[in-house]
């Protein structure tokens, strides 16, 4: 560190913050106002509209909407799909992130790109893929029909389509974390005689815990909210293959606005809960890092 700034320069620098306070405050204020106004217009207003429309005809009408058997079936289906998809994608996500973060092999960067594919392609295409594979005119269509198995226009198709579109979330969250944390601790554990599973549960899992929770939350939110891909493979059979987002559209198209927004408000609540949990997780992670 030879030389260094002169005394005069340091003195000059020290006065700067004071001199620029007015401008910087104005700029700061302007930025905050703009972002808040934008948020209010684009986010809060629509959110309030959803709840306002849902409660338009009072609490009774709101809760009446949830007594409809088709609505209940839609809620049940959405929960079922999430319950199947989220654990599977958690396992796949950990496996993928592990493979990519800890090992070197040919085609690795290709695989990383492929993981992002479901986010890159339109959900409608994600749905059509399965129609092309399992539809009667598709590759496996005839075989499936002969064996009396239905994939698309039934629950398995919805699960598959959701699985596809939500695949990247866990893997994407874990991958940078795994790469960043490196292998040292795992190697130490194995040197000291721990088995593979033991190393995973006692060394790796605690390290990636919060990243994992974050990925699972995102995955769950998308699984419950997915519309496009599910719409293509659903067949729209009421009470059987309509998930909550599809059911909202159906109700809306039937002029049943209160019920449509009631179901929408449930989805919104879910999103809000997800956000709260996400914030908590972020807060925890930040806290632990310090």
Partner 1 sequence: MRFRFLLALGILLLAGCGRSGGSGEALSLLNVSYDPTRELYRDVNAAFAEEWQRQTGQTILVKQSHAGSGNQARAVIDGLQADVVTLALAYDIDSIHRNGKRLGPNWQTRFPHNSSPYTSTIVFLVRAGNPKQIRDWPDLVKPGVQVVTPNPKTSGGARWNFLAAWGAELHRQLGGDWSKLDDPQTAAQAEAAQAAAEAFVATIYRNAPVLDSGARGATNTFVQRQIGDVLLAWENEALLAVQELGPDQVEIVVPSTSILAETPVAVVDTVVDRRGTRRAAEAYLQFLYSPTGQELAAKHHYRPTDPEVLARHRDKFAEIETFTIDQAFGGWDRAHTRFFADGALFDRIMGVK
Site for partner 1 in 151-180 (CB under 8 A): 151-156, 159-160
Judging by beta carbons within 10 Å of its beta carbon (0-12, 13-18, 19+), is residue 232 exposed, middle or buried?
Answer: buried
Task: Provide, rounded to whole angstroms, the least separation between the CB of residue 187 and partner 1.
Answer: 31
- Of 81, 235, 237, the C-alpha closest to 153 is 235
Question: Which positions ≥6 away from 158 have C-beta within 8 Å?
Answer: 77, 81, 230, 233, 234, 241, 243
| DSSP collapsed to 3 states, 15-52 | HHHHHCHHHHHHHHHHHHHHHHHHHHHHHHHHHHHHHH
Q: Is 150 in the site for partner 1 (CB under 8 A)?
A: yes
What 3-state DSSP class applies to 261?
A: helix
**Applying CB under 8 A, which of residues 51, 61, 235, 277 lies at the interface with partner 1?**
235
Q: Is 263 in the site for partner 1 (CB under 8 A)?
A: no
Q: Is 145 in the site for partner 1 (CB under 8 A)?
A: yes
Stretch that binds partner 1, among 10-18, 41-49, 142-150, 204-212 (CB under 8 A): 142-150
Nearer to partner 1, 209 or 238 (CB): 238
Q: Is 239 in the site for partner 1 (CB under 8 A)?
A: yes
- Of 44, 86, 30, 83, the C-alpha closest to 215 is 86
Task: Provide, rounded to whole angstroms, the least separation between the CB of residue 222 and partner 1.
Answer: 19
Site for partner 1 in 79-138 (CB under 8 A): 80, 84, 131, 134-138
Nearer to partner 1, 158 or 218 (CB): 158
Query: What is the rounded CA–CA span in Å between residue 17 and residue 23?
Result: 10
Stretch that binds partner 1, among 53-61, 105-113, 149-157, 175-183 (CB under 8 A): 149-157
Nearer to partner 1, 228 or 239 (CB): 239
């Amino acid at each position: 560190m030879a030389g260094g700034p002169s005394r005069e320069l340091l003195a000059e620098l020290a006065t700067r913050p004071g001199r620029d306070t007015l401008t910087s405050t104005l700029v700061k204020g302007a930025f905050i106002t703009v972002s808040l106004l934008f948020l209010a217009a684009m986010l809060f207003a629509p959110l309030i509209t959803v709840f306002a429309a849902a409660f338009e005809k009072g609490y009774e009408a709101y809760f009446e909407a949830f007594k409809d058997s088709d609505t209940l079936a839609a809620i049940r289906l959405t929960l079922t799909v999430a319950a199947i998809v989220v654990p599977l994608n958690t396992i796949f996500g950990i496996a993928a992130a592990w493979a990519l973060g800890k090992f070197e092999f040919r085609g690795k960067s290709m695989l990383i790109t492929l993981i992002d594919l479901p986010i890159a392609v339109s959900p409608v295409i994600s749905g059509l893929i399965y129609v092309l594979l399992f539809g009667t005119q598709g590759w496996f269509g005839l075989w499936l029909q002969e064996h009396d198995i239905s994939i698309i226009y039934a629950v398995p198709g919805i699960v598959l389509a959701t699985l596809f579109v939500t695949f990247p979330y866990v893997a994407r969250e874990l991958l940078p974390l795994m790469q960043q944390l490196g292998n040292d601790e795992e190697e130490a554990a194995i040197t000291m005689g721990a088995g593979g599973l033991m190393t995973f549960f006692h060394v790796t899992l605690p390290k990636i815990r919060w990243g994992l929770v974050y990925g699972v939350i995102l995955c769950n939110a998308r699984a419950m909210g997915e519309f496009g891909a599910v719409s293509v493979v659903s067949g729209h059979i009421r009470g059987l293959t309509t998930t909550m987002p599809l059911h909202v559209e159906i109700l809306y198209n039937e002029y049943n606005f209160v019920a449509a927004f009631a179901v929408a408000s449930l989805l919104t609540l879910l999103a809000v809960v997800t956000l709260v949990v996400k914030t908590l997780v972020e807060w925890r992670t930040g806290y632990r890092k310090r």
